[in-house]
């Protein structure tokens, strides 16, 4: 069993991002700009946003953080998005989710200029993804998984891939990327969800299993075949009295039970998580290039 270390792969991506940013500054007098919008004071969201801002700044990018109170209205949030759409210093816009329950996230996403939609959530960019258009953005977490498969040179062509989860953020785009042509894709893909029958049997047929359902340690050893590649996208808090903060982070895979059966597996934390921010910054550099015709 070999660990797929997201920290290592993400660092390689971030180093390339830093070089690309410097090239844009030196050759074109352009500084890629990323704006992150957060509504309310959700602790986890605050951590995510802080990490994104820090990584963007470290890469030499222009980073702008916009905070709105929990009570912010839909119109106030949309007005901020429109302001950022029209700001020439901003090339990428990210609205941190989840939003407070009184706000409609779909309306907010649709309001972002597709050319600045570095999360790749806008219907325009999702459509481009589905038809195989590669000149724009790719969704950050699924593309991070693809980058890890490539970094470790894991052969997936012709393999059976099972994706646990059908979310718009991970499950659906993950399936699309895995079925695309290419050495580290070209899979036969099955997407499983709450309506899937004989789930264990389906998972046991996977050469590559991607877990993204948000249920702590859901995937057990009897769901994984010998030699499988297991990618754990989940990150969940569970109670742990032995920890100072009273909890620990685990994935959607029971790592201790599953890892001995795997050829490769991602840990949690330190697996897929670091890749998401790295691919976000990569998309932001792409946005700068496309908006300026570079």
Give yes or no for a contact between 275 and 240, defined as CB atoms under 8 angstroms apart. no
C-alpha distances (whole Å) from 238 to each of 57, 163, 221, 229, 266 are 32, 23, 20, 25, 19
Residue 201 belongs to what H/E stretch?
Answer: helix 199-204
Q: Helices (DSSP H) in 29-122: which residue ranges? A: 43-58, 74-85, 105-111
Give yes or no for a contact between 34 and 4, defined as CB atoms under 8 angstroms apart. no
| Dist CA 118 CA 121 (whole Å) | 8
Place of tokens 């907010």: 108
| Dist CA 35 CA 88 (whole Å) | 12
Place of tokens 């969800």: 193
Query: Can you state the percent helix, strand and coil of the chain, rounding each to 5?
Result: 45, 20, 40
Buried/exposed code over 255-279 (b: 16+ C-beta within 10 A; e: otherwise): beebbebbebbbbbebbbbbbbbbb
Active site residues: 52, 96, 119
């Amino acid at each position: 069993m070999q660990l797929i270390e997201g920290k290592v792969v993400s660092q390689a991506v971030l180093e390339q991002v830093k070089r690309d940013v410097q090239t844009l500054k030196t050759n074109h007098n352009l500084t890629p700009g990323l704006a992150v919008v957060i509504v309310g004071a959700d602790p986890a969201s605050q951590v995510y946003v802080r990490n994104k801002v820090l990584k963007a700044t470290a890469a030499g990018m222009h980073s702008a953080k916009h905070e709105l109170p929990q009570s912010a209205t839909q119109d106030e949030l949309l007005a901020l998005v429109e302001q950022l759409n029209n700001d020439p210093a901003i090339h990428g816009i990210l609205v941190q989710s989840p939003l407070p329950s009184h706000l409609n996230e779909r309306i907010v996403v649709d309001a972002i200029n597709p050319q600045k939609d570095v999360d790749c959530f806008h219907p325009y960019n999702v459509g481009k993804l589905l038809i195989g258009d590669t000149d724009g953005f790719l969704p950050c977490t699924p593309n991070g998984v693809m980058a890890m498969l490539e970094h470790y040179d894991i052969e997936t062509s012709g393999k059976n891939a099972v994706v646990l989860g059908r979310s718009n953020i991970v499950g659906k785009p993950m399936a699309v990327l895995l079925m695309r042509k290419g050495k580290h894709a070209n899979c036969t893909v099955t997407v499983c969800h709450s309506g899937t029958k004989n789930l264990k049997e389906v998972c046991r047929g996977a050469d590559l299993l991607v877990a993204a359902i948000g249920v702590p340690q859901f995937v057990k050893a009897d769901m994984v075949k010998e030699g499988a590649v297991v990618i754990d996208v989940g990150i969940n808090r569970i109670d742990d009295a032995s920890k100072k903060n009273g909890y620990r982070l685990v994935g959607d895979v029971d790592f201790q039970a599953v890892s001995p059966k795997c050829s490769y597996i991602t840990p949690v934390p330190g697996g897929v998580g670091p890749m998401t921010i790295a691919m976000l910054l990569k998309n932001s550099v792409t946005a700068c290039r496309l908006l300026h015709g570079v």
